[in-house]
Structure 1
């Protein structure tokens, strides 16, 4: 396998970390962009540590993205970019100033635009083509109450994915997205831990009901799909949003329905 490199934003934990580990398992060099240095400690002890490096900073910052691309290209040709970084904070349009709501939308959209822009410029300059995968959510299509900024941003990320595919497909650059259902991450564990046991049980059974496979997803299951979309095996897949949600979108149960 020829040497290749990838950048994964928000790659320190959860889905991002699983993607990093999956790509490293294929022998690739992976650069992790992460705001929180404490979520990077595992990199040094990983079996593939020699091919893993980190840039501490905000994925929505142009210089941070450029540093990550430089690191990746110094190791091997840049092959793929995964825009996974996200901000989980919401505000209601009837109580928060509209400008604050807009800023929260931008907080989730900007990293994908900055990352895609950096990747596209590097792919074009190298003349190699490449692949971009944007991480979206089932909320892009079916909003859940109280998450307007997040749902709006993810819908925009899916629109961005289609536009990238159309603008750059002819130049060897593919862009696709994965729309995730509920996934078992550290953040999910922390959320459940903050509830009383009866409520945690209720939430767990509700999530089971929303996903036809009868459980929420595992980070490794998402990573497999991302790795596929980045690979040459997906050479004719461009501009799609692939639900990785155990059938949640197909079932389409109203999250508030009882």
Structure 2
């Protein structure tokens, strides 16, 4: 079996790749940054790994990834994880820039889903798609309008795909993430003054009812489940993988 993981070179994406490799799958990683896939060549499972460097929102890049995946086995899973973490505000930035950022986060999911659906239908085998969203799709934080809007659209896309292609043997689900301890998070924290970093860490602990932020490996387990036959009756779901952040309501008497 083979899978494609976009944005699979670092963070959550790499954890998903490692989890799928551990299950014996072949994986094609799509990454925009060549440095993000430098580790593939020395990996113990390098014979089951391939990389495509390019924009996950480019149909030709997605087609190349699908081709490589099908060379190693039946394409059974597609994970739309690639994202752009940059924002703009409606009051200060051109509307065109805001729309461009929304599109840069939404387009890779649409292109990936379209590529996967067409390949699954052509093969007649069905398959699974997992989109990666965020708690911000339903509960945005200030200053992240383009990202939150795009992720809300990704969750709508998931439901539409589930209804449209479920009867054809194609399941589509989403994981909606809380804060995760990725390299990007570590770099953000390293750039803070010690007092600010301590406050941010305390706030993130407070916001996640399990008392900590998540690990990439925990997200990978959820994604692997949704891709697997064990989730054969799970379709159109947005699964929060957020330690309870999306259901947390602050106690008004706590202060």
TM-score w.r.t. the length of structure 1 is 0.96
1:194 pairs with 2:218: no
Residue in structure 1 matched with residue 91 of structure 2 by the alignment:
94
Which of 91, 115, 118 is matched with 1:121 structurally? Answer: 118
1:49 pairs with 2:46: yes
1: CA distance, partners of 2:250 / 2:149 = 20
Secondary structure of residue in 2 paired with 1:174: strand
Secondary structure of residue in 2 paired with 1:217: coil
1: CA distance, partners of 2:42 / 2:204 = 34
**CA offsets 1:172-230 (integer angstroms, 9 cap, x no match):** 00000000000000000000011111101110000000000000000000000000000
1:252 offset after TM fit, Å? 4.0
Secondary structure of residue in 2 paired with 1:167: helix
1: CA distance, partners of 2:197 / 2:249 = 22
Secondary structure of residue in 2 paired with 1:8: strand
Residue in structure 1 matched with residue 234 of structure 2 by the alignment:
237
Secondary structure of residue in 2 paired with 1:239: coil
- Runs of 4+ in structure 1 deviating by more than 2 angstroms, as ranges, are none
Counting only pairs closer than 5 Å after superposition, residues 1-258 of structure 1 correspond to structure 2 as: 4-253=1-250
2: CA distance, partners of 1:47 / 1:225 = 24
2: CA distance, partners of 1:14 / 1:252 = 28
1: CA distance, partners of 2:23 / 2:220 = 12
1: CA distance, partners of 2:54 / 2:100 = 19
Secondary structure of residue in 1 paired with 2:243: coil
Aligned residues: 253
1: CA distance, partners of 2:222 / 2:45 = 21
1: CA distance, partners of 2:50 / 2:118 = 21
2: CA distance, partners of 1:174 / 1:142 = 25
User: What is the Cα-based RMSD across aligned positions, in Å?
Assistant: 1.2
1:253 offset after TM fit, Å? 4.5
TM-score w.r.t. the length of structure 2 is 0.98
**CA offsets 1:125-180 (integer angstroms, 9 cap, x no match):** 00000000000000000010000000000000000000000000000000000000
Structure 1 unaligned spans of 5+: none
2: CA distance, partners of 1:252 / 1:130 = 37
Compare 245-254 and 185-194 and name the one that shifted more: 245-254
Compare 244-253 and 47-56 and name the one that shifted more: 244-253
